[in-house]
Amino acid sequence: MTPREVAQTLREISQLLQIKGENAFKVRAYDLGADAFDALPGDPAAPGGLYERVKNGTLTELGGIGKAISEKVTELVKRRRCSSRSWTSAISPTWSAPAASTSCAA
């Protein structure tokens, strides 16, 4: 998983939140998070890159990355997937995806 792929995932969530009519501040948080990952080195294994930040738990040191996004991205990078509950809670705390859905892109 590259920083660009993480950024794309966050932008997709932002778009879904916009469609849903979610609070503009929440939508903007995902857009800012995407921008932060776009600013990282393209190689996730580079010094100061995505893998190092996930390993050291320093994603929140990036501007625009809060605790919730940091936790979701950490799960995504470590597992190469994330639980549907983790990502769908970003979209709606009351919506639950089908049990078989475990991909972040789903």
Other CB atoms within 10 A of residue 9 CB: 22
Query: Is residue 80 in some structural domain?
Result: yes
CATH number at residue 39: 1.10.150.110
Query: Is residue 106 in some structural domain?
Result: no
Among residues 26, 32, 35, 41, which one has the least CA distance to residue 92? 26
Query: Is residue 103 in some structural domain?
Result: no
Domain extent for 25: 3-91
In the chain, the number of structural domains is: 1
CB within 8 Å of 18: residues ≥ 6 apart? 27
What is this structure's pTM?
0.77
Name the percent of the chain lying above pLDDT 90.
65
Whether residue 37 is predicted with pLDDT greater than 80 in this model: the reply is yes
The residue that leads in pLDDT, 51 or 105, is: 51
Query: Is residue 105 in some structural domain?
Result: no
pLDDT tens sequence across 60-89: 999 999 999 999 999 889 887 555 455 556
Task: Report the alpha-carbon distance of residue 64 to residue 56 in Å, rounded.
Answer: 18
Query: Is residue 96 in some structural domain?
Result: no
